[in-house]
Amino acid sequence: MVEQSRIKWVQDEMARHGVELFAAFTASGHNMGATNSTRVLSGFKNMGDSCVLLEADGERTVIVSPSWDAERAREQAPGCNVIASDDLAGAVIKAANRHGRTRKIGVDGLSTLAHRTVAPIRAEWGDRMVPMNGAMQRAGARKTPDEIRIAREVAAMAEKIFDRLLEVARPGMPEYELASDLYRYSKALGADDNFLLMASSQMPKGPRPPGRRILAKGDLILGEISPGADGHFVQICRTAVLGPINEVQQRNHDILWESMQAGLAAGAAGNTVAHVANMMNEAVAKHGFSEYCRPPYMRVRGHGLGSVSSLPGDIGTDNEMVLEEGMTFVMHPNQFLPGGGYMMVGEPVVITQTCAEPLTTRFSKLTSIPV
Amino acid sequence: MRTMQPVTVFGSYMLDEEQIPPDEFELRVTAAQDLMKHNGWSGLIAYGDAEDNAFVTYSTNYSPRNRTALALIGQTGVPRLICWAGLRDIKREAALAWMEDVRMAGNLGETLRTWFKDAGIETGTVGLVDEGAMKPQVHDAVIGALTAGGLVAGNADAAIVDLMHRKRPRELVVVRRAAEILGKTVDTLAESWRSGASVTDAVLAAEGTAFANAAQDARTLFSIDGGRTLRPFDRPLEERAERFVVYAAVRYQGYWAEGFVTLSQRRNAIQKAATEAIERMIAVARPGTVGDDLARAIAPAVEGFAPHAALTGSLAHGIGLSLHEAPNLAPGDPGSMVAEGTYSLTVGLSRGTLQHAFASAMISLAGGKTEVLWRAP
């Protein structure tokens, strides 16, 4: 689904920058925290590096690689001209020159591609290139009602994936087998990708890649479950205990949930991201854990989610961006606290006039898996 | 084959020192350092990211799951690994490497200048591996640091490709295991398909087998139009393909195995031709074989059929820490097979718009003979 309002927004930016053509590049290496401009502007999820050329009159040409992926692009990008090539740089240069070699070209996302692709484009376009870095991020900063509806659906999918974790995790199972099960389950539900971080340990210090570790009674299982579907990533952060929950674990989880509630209350439109992060930190600090509100005990208090736009970026005390109604991101006071280890607590949220509203229906709670 | 790169890779990722012990990495790094001496390089800077990280993995065992890394190799000693990870995650990332010198990228220019000093690199040429794949900001920082240090950048790609082309004995052990996992993956696919599973269920069952056998990564492409076009998974499909063409790739301890399989109730002429062509390629594969030799060998079997567009002319290529290593063996290409090389062979054929078939095999040329590591059923 292509939001026409985004195209219009970019056209206005083109006029503001005095460019006649806009080139938005998307690398093959997908990123849960980045805009996929090709998908936003054309509807096509690229396999190789790709580019969308947007003319001032709204005409779109999507250039995809590899050459044999043309048919899928035509299917998914109705209304666009499709060019498929194994030489993206050559194809982009040729398509951009269709109306002459003097036009000014606004460029976004070129730096996400490899030097071998970037160099010939920079050489050809030279001074005609007008940096419009971040234009696509800004175009998608406020999600539309339809996009928020999709995000809620993907959040429901994430909750089902956590249910699955609770259902299949058992002592004796290798971590990689659990991760694989969840990944395949998410695909069966309709996710086309999943940024899945998970780890199991008696006292984890943070998430780690799943390995050959065998799940054991007493392990905390951490899950940063982040399915992507219909061009939207959503993330929930959950913690489960393989066996009974002890008092310290429950106390620590309660502190993180308090932090989460402080963040939700602070996340009203008009407040800064830094304000939200500070409120979340204060909720932890008041229990005597202020020294743990920094790396390596934590990273950030949440972050934006791709593929439309990952604004407002990392939820940190140094981010002065003002929250706007309709922004979505994951808010997560994930961190290490002494006695219980690293825990994950987090919900995807949408910013409203009064607060940050969770997109999930069942909030994070420390869950015991009977063994 | 190009597949859809996931946002992160999460199979069985940790180094298994029983399979690849630290001394294996020491020997590889020593070989790279010999190469540096031979070429007059003061150091090597190798780039890797989640999509391709062959030499970074070769020298450090580190395969980035979703970011970027640099392996820095001086004339002596162990490599230094630079990871794009923060303070919380650096230990976790370091645990994936075989050696201890793992650092955060920080200000990359500064980080590189510190390394020049620590490695005693004051003058001369520093070889760059996979410079073309570097993201512009990494490239600019590397070139900037070299220039500021009075150093010159050299292209080390050809020499490193040559070094990695011949697989070391322990690499072959791991490649064989990767091929074995591929075999189990394809067997699951075939069983699911025969039992009437939908396209999605069959592909997901196959990927599950790969991961359950400790694969680090598993990728698939499949066709829902009899092999005419290939697609990655992007939504669940309930339909069942009568003629099911699937490409599967699995990565185990860094090493890839890949292949195509064409499943059907009855093997038709085009499928038989593709299978015969693969056997003909296996028969002529030996050190020195080039793409033209392979093309000549398969010509009688594939007469009347056109090469499938998805293979863009390639008949075989090296495979190992990259899914598609040099040499590419296509008609007219100069690259040739070598002793101790491992290769992926694929024939894809089309006749008109309705008939298509693929067949594949993986071979190694170790010990003076051709060993078939896997062939499509």
What type of residue sits at position A2? V
B205 vs B185: CA distance, rounded Å: 8
SS3 B318: strand
Per-residue pLDDT of chain A (371 residues; tens, 9 = 90+): 799 999 999 999 999 999 999 999 999 999 998 999 999 999 999 999 999 999 999 999 999 999 999 999 999 999 999 999 999 999 999 999 998 888 999 999 999 999 999 999 999 999 999 999 999 999 999 999 999 999 999 999 999 999 999 999 999 999 989 998 999 999 999 999 999 888 899 999 888 778 888 999 999 999 999 999 999 999 999 999 999 999 999 999 999 999 999 999 999 999 999 999 999 999 999 999 999 999 999 999 999 998 999 999 999 999 999 999 999 999 999 999 999 999 999 999 999 999 999 999 999 999 999 99
Q: Which residues of A touch B253 (CB under 8 A)?
A: none
A319 touches chain B (CB under 8 A): no
pLDDT value of position B312: 82
**Closest CA in chain B for residue A191:** B235
Total beta-carbon pairs less than 8 A apart between chain A and chain B: 155
Q: How many CA atoms lie within 13 A of B167 on its CB side?
A: 28
SS (H, E, C) A18-72: CCCEEEEEECCCCCCCCECHHHHHHCCCCCCCEEEEEECCCCEEEEECCHHHHHH
Contact (Cβ atoms closer than 8 angstroms) between residue A25 and residue A113: yes
Domains along chain B with CATH numbers: 22-163 (3.40.350.10), 169-375 (3.90.230.10)
Best mutation site among A64, A117, A125, A184 for testing chain B: the one with the most B CBs within 10 Å?
A184
Count the Cβ atoms, other than its own, within 10 Å of residue B371.
Answer: 14
Cβ contacts of residue B64 below 8 Å, gap of 6+?
A: B48, B49, B50, B53, B56, B83, B84
B274 vs B289: CA distance, rounded Å: 20
Best mutation site among A176, A197, A205 for testing chain B: the one with the most B CBs within 10 Å?
A176
Contact (Cβ atoms closer than 8 angstroms) between residue B248 and residue B185: yes
Say which range, A178-182, B79-83, B258-262, has the weakest mean pLDDT: A178-182
Closest to B133 (Cβ–Cβ): which among A68, A116, A189? A116
pLDDT, one tens digit per residue, over B5-15 is: 999 987 888 88
Question: Can you spell out the DSSP letters for A233-246?
Answer: E--EEEEEEESPPP
A209 vs A216: CA distance, rounded Å: 17
Contact (Cβ atoms closer than 8 angstroms) between residue B44 and residue B164: no
Residue position matching structure tokens 């009075």: B150
Closest to B132 (Cβ–Cβ): which among A65, A115, A209? A115
Find residues 159-218 of chain A whose CB sits inside 8 Å of chain B: 174, 176-177, 179-181, 183-184, 187-190, 192-198, 205-212
Find residues 218-257 of chain A whose CB sits inside 8 Å of chain B: 226, 228, 233
| Closest to B305 (Cα-Cα) out of B355, B253, B258 | B355
A277 vs A333: CA distance, rounded Å: 9
Q: How many CA atoms lie within 13 A of A65 on its CB side?
A: 22
B221 vs A174: CA distance, rounded Å: 27
Q: Is 90 exceeded by the pLDDT of residue B356?
A: yes
Subunit contact B7:A233, Cβ cutoff 8 A:
yes
Subunit contact A180:B208, Cβ cutoff 8 A:
yes
| Closest to B193 (Cα-Cα) out of B204, B183, B208 | B204
* Percent of chain B at pLDDT exceeding 90: 94
A27 vs A113: CA distance, rounded Å: 5
Residue position matching structure tokens 């799943």: A210
Subunit contact A197:B49, Cβ cutoff 8 A:
no
The pair of three-digit structure tokens given for residue B354, joined into one six-digit string? 């309705």
DSSP conformation class of B5 = P
Subunit contact A198:B10, Cβ cutoff 8 A:
yes
Best mutation site among A39, A115, A334 for testing chain B: the one with the most B CBs within 10 Å?
A115
CA A200 to chain centre: 23
Domains along chain A with CATH numbers: 4-139 (3.40.350.10), 145-369 (3.90.230.10)
**Closest CA in chain A for residue B211:** A180
Q: Which residues of A touch B128 (CB under 8 A)?
A: none
Question: Can you spell out the DSSP letters for A127-142?
Answer: GGEEE-TTHHHHHTSS
Q: Which residues of B touch A172 (CB under 8 A)?
A: none
Residue position matching structure tokens 């820095």: B72
